[in-house]
Amino acid sequence: MNSQRKNIKDMINKWLTSNQEDGINLLKALVQAKSTQKNEKDSQDIVIKTLEKIGLEIDVWEPDGEKLQKHPYFACSRINFKESPNVVGVLKGSGGGKSIILNGHIDVVPEGDIAQWIHDPFSGEIIDGKLFGRGSTDMKGGNVALLLAISAIRELGIPLKGDVIFQSVIEEESGGLGTLAAIERGYRADAAIIPEPTNMKIFPKQQGSLWFRITIHGRSAHGGTRYEGVSAIEKSFLVVNHIGELEKQRNNKITDILYENIPIPIPINVGKIEGGDWPSSVADIVKVEGRIGISPDETMEEAKKEMTDWLKKLREINLWFDESPVELEWFGARWIPGSINIDHELMNCLSTCFHEVTGEQAKIEASPWGTDGGLLTNVANTPTIVFGPGITEKAHYPNEYIEIDKVFEAAEIIALTIVEWCS
Amino acid sequence: MNSQRKNIKDMINKWLTSNQEDGINLLKALVQAKSTQKNEKDSQDIVIKTLEKIGLEIDVWEPDGEKLQKHPYFACSRINFKESPNVVGVLKGSGGGKSIILNGHIDVVPEGDIAQWIHDPFSGEIIDGKLFGRGSTDMKGGNVALLLAISAIRELGIPLKGDVIFQSVIEEESGGLGTLAAIERGYRADAAIIPEPTNMKIFPKQQGSLWFRITIHGRSAHGGTRYEGVSAIEKSFLVVNHIGELEKQRNNKITDILYENIPIPIPINVGKIEGGDWPSSVADIVKVEGRIGISPDETMEEAKKEMTDWLKKLREINLWFDESPVELEWFGARWIPGSINIDHELMNCLSTCFHEVTGEQAKIEASPWGTDGGLLTNVANTPTIVFGPGITEKAHYPNEYIEIDKVFEAAEIIALTIVEWCS
């Protein structure tokens, strides 16, 4: 590290230390502003205020669902985004440098079974250096790291040549509509970072995923003569087990070394089940919904075909499926896989900064879930790395939390990376 | 058969033949007047008009849910019965004879998956002597048989000593609130017939049943790292299989000869399943709902205890249940078992009339489901037989239908039985 760079690193570190309280308060406020689907506005208003304070050029708009739904990569459960704005803030460079997109989603998944939470899921309670709440790890902690990084650079007056484009997007959790809307609005850059919860690992490859719905048929009858009917609930168990076999087969084929520490590289998760309409009747229809992970080395179409063909084999397991085949739909969310070369310039830059800040070698892996990185890399031609302070295992989990120190560590690494990349 | 009796039988038979069109039209109108829970009024209005035409004393009232919910045998998913009346019609006898209650429920279960119906479930379409539609077999065909029987006796001027009390009740399908309300209103008799769909078999014993809800817990996680969570959906399969084992054990203990032709005498049916709230999350809670059959030879408390104890054994199957036990609730509907002696006087009377009309010996079995007979027998002290023209296998089934001839055959047998019993 040359002395000028060392100097900048120290300035950023000092700035972050002296602004710790503001950073924590910002994160707490964002977690408290529950931003499940359709409720993003309060959180976005906090983001807008923060961007105003930093002094960026701000762009706030409600995506045009009518228009976007014609896009081949549209995947969303709604087309009306009233009161669900996207927010972008741009720090213009002086020109002649490389630009960067810093993208984070503001939406959070539902809190699930409230009984499993020790605190109110939207309290933002802080205990022993951990801030608890839905969205803390996935990914408001990452978003705060971005805002701190930009704020530090701006307040310290560090000159940049390339533009820094901060994006607070909606709808990542159901397929990336917010990022797609930002791409369609014209935002592009030479590279991007998304601080999803990676446990501070660097992910040059992101798994894609697709949502599916399978409809399983039975034949109704009175529960007292249930042997006259065919239970769609019992048949659904066969279907879910059959999907488990497909998951095994697909994962046995994964040889990429970036997945070697991941128990199931591309999981298939059945997340919802619903069927039957009367306790005393045999259920005649059950629907299961889930997500199938897409390897960075396959296309979505290949994965779809594999699952479609696999479900046709159900008839070999149980004759009922010959008479009443299950129906497979692809619906709602979809995240296309993304991949950049592990020796891409931004990989080197980020890994170096990581080492300078932490004194350790960065761990490089492939992501266990889809992110908006697939859209940025493939649709916006903006090579994307996923790297952030949240805890992978706590995403979508009761008692989700983030370690506050990691938010500041990530902010420092990202600030240094921006300075290096955009200068 | 003595000549007077032969004469009455012939008169009734002739009357039924000449009133066939009216009877069919009445059944068709009742099926078309969809009477799922809370929608009983249109059907009851048709019943009231029919009772007016026959010339009975009519009693129409909306049950008082507030009051009835304090009754130890109250079991219903609601306490407001506005627009859901009970209807009773009484044909007073001249005195000194035995009385009879003729009870049928007007409510029908939902139609289920519409795609499995060939005709509109509420069309009342007639093809080859079969009348199709939800409720045709369970049990509007039986109710029409009762109305035809009373109508014949009344129009033919056959003198009776005992009272005939016809009851068209609501809420049988969710636990017998309508019949309980009629009992609480004071209706009692020396015996009762309920023409539920028995395939023209005579059931002196009725299975009881109880609705249960089991809550199964998991632990949420992101679907992309599903190995960090515990799927309540996967655990629910273990629970349903475990319940299947209990069903086997309970049925192995049934030795009553009346059950010898029934594949599963007292089934446990899991009729509903629902859980998980996001396709990309591991489901942290699943609820299953079902009914457990209660043998006429056990109490409801015994059955409850057996199931409660059985579910505690889940921890032996899977350690997860030791950490997160399932929760069992008894909710909604409940039908107490009923049983009368197979040589009860009404059994002999009904069997004899059956033989006189059909020329065959009546088949005597135990019912595969709960009926309001348990309430009548045990709470109203009115020994009850279940015997009707509907098809057991078609109850709660898509394309439910009834054979029209059987409705008239049952009407003739029941009319003769009334004359014999009440004279």
**CATH fold of the domain at B208-335:** Alpha-Beta Plaits (3.30.70)
Q: Which CATH class is domain A3-206+337-422?
A: alpha beta
Q: Measured between alpha carbons, how far is B103 from B244 in angstroms, rounded to an integer?
A: 34
Distance CA A125, CA B65 (A): 45
pLDDT of residue B368: 83
Q: Which of A172, A365, A403, A409 is catalytic?
A: A172
Q: Distance (Å, rounded) from C-alpha A321 to C-alpha B221?
A: 31
Q: How far is CA A57 from CA A48, A92, A93, A331, B196, in A?
A: 10, 8, 12, 36, 75
B-chain CB neighbours of A390 within 8 Å are: none
Taking an 8 Å cut-off on Cβ atoms, the answer to whether B392 and A240 are in contact is no
CB A285 within 8 A of CB A268: no
3-state secondary structure of B1: coil
Residue B340 CA to residue A379 CA, distance in Å, equals 75
Q: How far is CA A231 from the centre of its chain?
A: 37
Q: From chain B, pick out residues whose CB is under 8 angstroms from the CB of A222.
A: 138, 368-369, 392, 395-397
**For every one of its 423 residues, what pLDDT tens digit does chain B have, with 9 covering 90 and above?**
788 889 999 999 999 999 999 999 999 999 999 999 999 999 999 999 999 999 999 999 999 999 999 999 998 889 999 999 999 999 999 999 999 999 999 999 999 889 889 999 999 999 999 999 999 999 999 999 999 999 999 999 999 999 999 999 999 998 899 999 999 999 999 999 999 999 999 999 999 999 999 999 999 988 999 999 999 999 999 999 999 999 999 999 999 999 988 999 999 999 999 999 889 999 999 999 999 999 998 999 999 999 999 999 999 999 999 999 999 999 988 889 999 999 999 999 999 999 999 999 999 999 888 899 999 999 999 999 999 999 988 988 889 999 999 999 999 999 999 999 999
pLDDT at A70: 95
Task: Give CATH 3.30.70.360 domain extents, chain B.
Answer: 208-335
Which residues in chain A show pLDDT less than 70?
Answer: none
Answer whether B219 sits within 8 Å of A116, measured CB to CB. Answer: yes
Catalytic annotation on A256? no
Q: According to the model, what pLDDT value does residue B3 have? A: 86
Determine contact, residues B354/B362, Cβ cutoff 8 Å: yes
CA count, 13 A, side-chain hemisphere, B146: 33
Kindly state the helix (H) or strand (E) to which residue B141 belongs, with its residue range: helix B141-156
Would you call B301 exposed, middle or buried from its count of C-beta atoms within 10 A (0-12, 13-18, 19+)?
exposed
Dihedral-angle region of residue A173 (phi above 0 means left; psi in -120 to 50 means alpha; beta otherwise): alpha
Please state the ipTM of this predicted complex.
Answer: 0.82
Instruction: Tell how far CA B400 is from the center of its chain.
Output: 15
SS in 3 state form for chain A? CCHHHHHHHHHHHHHHHHCHHHHHHHHHHHHHCCCECCCCHHHHHHHHHHHHHHCCEEEEECCCHHHHCCCCCCCCCCCCCCCCCEEEEEECCCCCCCCEEEEEECCECCCCCHHHCCCCCCCCCEECCEEECCCHHHHHHHHHHHHHHHHHHHHHCCCCCCCEEEEEECCHHHCCHHHHHHHHCCCCCCEEEECCCCCCCEEEEECEEEEEEEEEECECCEHHHHHHCECHHHHHHHHHHHHHHHHHHHHHCCCCHHHCCCCCCCCEEEEEEEECCCCCECCCEEEEEEEEEECCCCCHHHHHHHHHHHHHCHHHHCCHHHHCCCEEEEEEEEECCEECCCCCHHHHHHHHHHHHHHCCCCCEEEECCCCCHHHHHHCCCCCEEEECCCCHHHCCCCCCEEEHHHHHHHHHHHHHHHHHHHC
A4 burial type by CB count under 10 A (0-12 exposed, 13-18 middle, 19+ buried): exposed
The alpha carbon of residue A160 is apart from the nearest alpha carbon of chain B, in Å, by 37
* pLDDT of res. A2: 81
Among partner residues A217, A269, A279, which is closest to B226 by beta-carbon distance?
A269
Residues of chain A with CATH 3.40.630.10: 3-206+337-422
What are the chain B neighbours of A275 within 8 Å (beta carbons)?
272-274
Token pair 């049928």 in the structure block, residue: B104
End-to-end CA distance of chain B: 16
Among A40, A107, A372, A400, which one carries the catalytic annotation? A107
- How high is the pLDDT of residue A421? 97
Distance of CA A20 to the CA centre of its chain: 26
Residue type at A132 in one-letter notation: F
The confidence score (pLDDT) of residue A354 equals 98
Residues of chain A positioned with their CB less than 8 A from the CB of B275: 272-274
CA distances from B141 to A118, B45, B52, B353 (A): 56, 17, 20, 19
Structure token digits, residue B396: 């709660």
* Probe site for chain B from A222, A259, A264, A294 (most B CB atoms < 10 A): A222
Helix (H, G, I), strand (E, B) or coil at B376: helix
Active-site entry in B40, B111, B138, B172: B172
Q: Report the Cα B132 to chain-centroid distance in Å.
A: 19
Q: Which residue of A has its CA nearest to B400?
A: A221
Given B219, B263, B276, which is nearest A227 (Cβ)?
A: B263
Phi-psi region of B193 (alpha: psi -120 to 50; beta: other; left: phi over 0): beta
DSSP type of residue B71? S
Architecture of domain A210-335: 2-Layer Sandwich (3.30)
Candidate from A173, A233, A370 with C-beta closest to B240: A233
- Write out chain A residues lying below 8 Å of B291, CB-based: 223-224, 279-280
Q: Is B45 exposed, middle or buried (0-12, 13-18, 19+ CB in 10 A)?
A: middle
- At A355-401, the pLDDT tens digits run 999 999 999 999 888 899 999 999 999 999 999 999 988 988 889 99
Distance from the A197 Cα atom to the nearest Cα atom in chain B, whole angstroms: 11
Q: How far apart are CA A46 and CA A29, in angstroms?
A: 8
Record: contact A222-B281, CB cut-off 8 A: no
Residue A163 annotated as catalytic: no
- Give the residue from A139, A239, A245, A273 with the most B CB atoms within 10 Å of its CB, the best one to mutate: A273
- Which amino acid is residue B248, in one-letter code? K
Cross-chain Cβ contact A280/B369 below 8 Å: yes
Bridge partners of B386, per DSSP, are: B194, B203
**R_g of chain B, CA atoms, integer Å:** 23
Query: B-chain residues within 8 Å CB-CB of A273?
Result: 233, 236, 273-276, 283, 286
Report how far residue B384's alpha carbon sits from residue B367's, in angstroms, rounded to the nearest whole number.
12
Kindly give, in sequence order, each residue whose CB lies less than 8 Å from that of residue B346, ignoring residues fewer than 6 positions away: B191, B193, B340, B383, B385, B417, B421
E strand intervals along B220-363? 268-275, 285-294, 327-335, 338-339
> Residues B271, A223: contact at Cβ < 8 Å?
yes
Tell me the H-state helices in B288-393. 300-312, 314-317, 320-323, 345-358, 373-378
By CB atoms closer than 10 A (0-12, 13-18, 19+), residue B59 is: middle
- B113–A293: do the CB atoms touch at under 8 Å? no
CB A172 within 8 A of CB A371: yes
pLDDT value of position A251: 96
**Side-chain half-sphere exposure of A3, counting CA atoms within 13 A:** 0
Q: Which of A280, A291, A335, A386 to mutate to test the interface with B (most CBs of B within 10 A)?
A: A280
Q: Give, for B41, the enclosing helix (H) or strand (E).
A: helix B41-54
